[in-house]
Structure 1
Amino acid sequence: TTVHVTFKKLSAADIAKNKSNIGRPLSTLQAYVMDAHMNLQPIGVPGEMYIGGEGVARGYLNRDELTADRFVSNPYLPGDRLYRTGDLAKRLSNGELEYLGRIDEQVKVRGHRIELGEIQAALLQYPMIKEAAVITRADEQGQTAIYAYMVIKDQQAANISDIRTYLKNALPDFMLPARMIQIDSIPVTVNGKLDQKALPEPEKHAYT
Structure 2
Amino acid sequence: MELLRTSLHRAAGLRAPTVVLVEGASDRRALEALARRGGRSLDEVAIVPMGGITNIGHFLDLFGPRGLDRRLAGLYDVAEEGYVRRGLERAGLGAAPSRERLAALGFQVCVADLEDELIRALGVAAVEQVVEAAGELRSFHRFQRQPAQQDRPLAAQLHRFIGTRSGRKARYADLLADALPPARVPPALDRLLARL
What is the TM-score of this pair, normalised by structure 2?
Answer: 0.29
Higher strand share: 1
Q: Which has the higher helix share?
A: 2
Higher relative contact order (CA 8 A, sep 6+): 2
Structure having the higher Rg: 1
TM-score if structure 1 supplies the norm length? Answer: 0.28
